[in-house]
Amino acid sequence: MKKIAVVLSGSGVFDGSEIHESVITLLALDKAGASVQCFAPNIEQCHVVNHLTGEVAENETRNVLVESARIARGNIKDIADAQASDFDAVIFPGGFGAAKNLSDFAFKGSECHIQKDVEIFAKEAVKIGLPLGFMCIAPAMIPRIYGDGAKLTIGTDVETAANINAMGGVHVACPTTEFVIDKKLRVVSTPAYMSANSISEAAIGIEKLVNEVLKLIP
């Protein structure tokens, strides 16, 4: 059975993991017969957003690992304890948490950094040759993980693509229902809710990404 690590970034599109993307990913992996372990960094969220109003909730704090446990139904571990060698592949669902908690891309753009525990795990996975999948805004981390020249997509958003290219990535415009694969680096990305107009549209690209990542496993 293939073992897949899924890295979450909280719970909720505006300050954590995009819930639809995360659940579709977990469902697609389960339907494919893969074994899944979720991870998240044990850190405070950058901030908390009221998802009803869209406004930042002042004086409120939440923990990324604790919030991610909502999506994982409690079956989640601190990414600081993760060993890439225990897995066959890694997938990063999107949501603004990928750009606020797993990295600071939302605030620093091309000058961003990846959260240290996430970076250590992701780079170790690359070092040992695991295929990785990224969706929505999460592909913005790819240049920091792989270095210059990695092909990826976040869809068609011009400003975000420009920041990614400035980091050394090679952005490829892509419709929601498709994906981009860098065959040399064995990394797959799809736009998901960066451009999706519905959950069913997002699901098409996400399911294709999951299946492509699984096919890359020897």
Q: What is 58-98 written as a DSSP string? A: TT---BHHHHHHHHTTT-EEEGGG--GGG-SEEEE--STHH
Mean pLDDT per 10-residue interval, the chain, length 218 residues: 98 98 98 98 97 94 98 98 98 98 98 98 98 98 98 98 98 98 98 98 98 97
Determine the pLDDT at residue 174: 98
Determine the pLDDT at residue 14: 97
Query: pTM above the 0.85 mark?
Result: yes
Name the nearest CA neighbour of 28 among 16, 20, 39, 40. 20
Coil, helix or strand for 44?
strand
pLDDT tens digits along 108-163: 999 999 999 999 999 999 999 999 999 999 999 999 999 999 999 999 999 999 99
The CATH number of the domain where 52 resides is what?
3.40.50.880
Determine the pLDDT at residue 197: 97
d(CA 131, CA 142): 12
Determine the pLDDT at residue 133: 99
Q: How many domains does the chain have?
A: 1
Determine the pLDDT at residue 114: 98
Determine the pLDDT at residue 55: 95
From the centroid of its chain, how far is CA 150? Answer: 16
Catalytic residues: 136
Domain of residue 95 covers 3-215
